[in-house]
Structure 1
Amino acid sequence: MPNARFILYHKHPTSARVLFLRLNGTVCQFDGLPPGTKVAESSLEGVVATGLDEAIAYNEQKLGLASGSLKIETEFWAKVDSPEDAINVYLAEFTATDPPHEQMAELEGKFIALAEGRRLDPTELELLRLVYSFLMDG
C-alpha cells in the first residue's frame, strides 16, 4: 500500500501490557516517517481502506511470520502529513499469546513499552500515545 505505515503491537491477554515493535529505529513499519511530519487527524470510527488484508499478509511475510500472526485493528486510523504527501497509519496486533521477541531480535527489532519510545521522532511518539489511549480505553 503506497503511503501507508503500520504500527505493530502486542497486548498481553492477561496483564494487558502493551508493547510496540521498533524495527530499524521506527515504530511505523516499514519505512518510518519522513522528517517534518505531523499528525493531521485520527479516527476511532473504523478503517475504510482497500488492500489491508494484502498489506497485513505482506507485513507477515516481510517479518517471517506465519499467516494469521497479525490482525488489523479496524477501529483505528491516523493520517500524517509530510512535506511530500499524506501517509495513512494503521494498527495491527500480534495475535500470539506472547510477542515473538526472539524472531524480531533476529531482524534487529525490539518490543518496547510506551515509556521506551521517548527517543522516537515526536510524531511517532504522538502516534504511540494515540494508540495507547485507544487500546486502554477500548
Structure 2
Amino acid sequence: MPNNRFILYHKHPTSAKLLFLRLNNTVCQFDGLPSESQVVESSLEGVVATGLDEAIAHIEQKLTLSAGTLKIEPEFWAKVDSVADTINVYLVEFTTTDPPGEKMEELEGKFIALAEGRRLGPIELELLRLVYSFLMDG
C-alpha cells in the first residue's frame, strides 16, 4: 500500500488568495511527516498514481465533505524520504468558491496562509514553498 500524504488547499477564484488546511498541526494530511524527512524529488508534469480517486473519496468522507468537494491536482507530486519509508505527497484542491472554514474548525482545523505556516517543520515549509510556486507561477 503506498504511503501518501495530501496537501489540501483553496485558491479563491477571484482574488487568488491561497490557503492551506492545517489539521492536527500539519498540512500533510493525515499523518504529517517525520521530522528527519527530506524532499528528494518533485514533478510539475504529473505522475501516474493508482488509487488516488479512492483516496480523495476517503478524505472527503473523513472531513465530512460532499462528494466532489475535492479534486487532485494532477500536475504536482513530490517524493519525501524518511528513515522508515518513502512518502508520496500530492496536492488536492477544494473546489468550492469559499473554503469550508467553519466545517474545518469543527474538526479543529484551520485554513492558513503561507506566512502562517512558520510553526510547521522545515520539510512542510519546503513543500509549501514548492506548492506556492507551482500554483502562483502556473
Aligned length, in residue pairs: 138
Equivalences for residues 1-138 of structure 1 within 5 A = 2-138=2-138
**Percent identity among equivalent residues?**
81
Unaligned segments of structure 2, at least 5 residues: none
Structure 2 counterpart SS, 1:133: helix
Contact 2:35 2:123 in 1 (8 A): no
Post-superposition shift, 1:119?
1.0
Amino acid aligned to 1:137: D
Deviations 1:84-115 (A, max 9, x none): 01100000000000000000000000000000
Unaligned segments of structure 1, at least 5 residues: none
Amino acid aligned to 2:108: E
State how far apart, in whole Å, the 1-side matches of 2:84 and 2:35 are. Answer: 10
C-alpha root-mean-square deviation of aligned residues, in Å?
Answer: 0.7
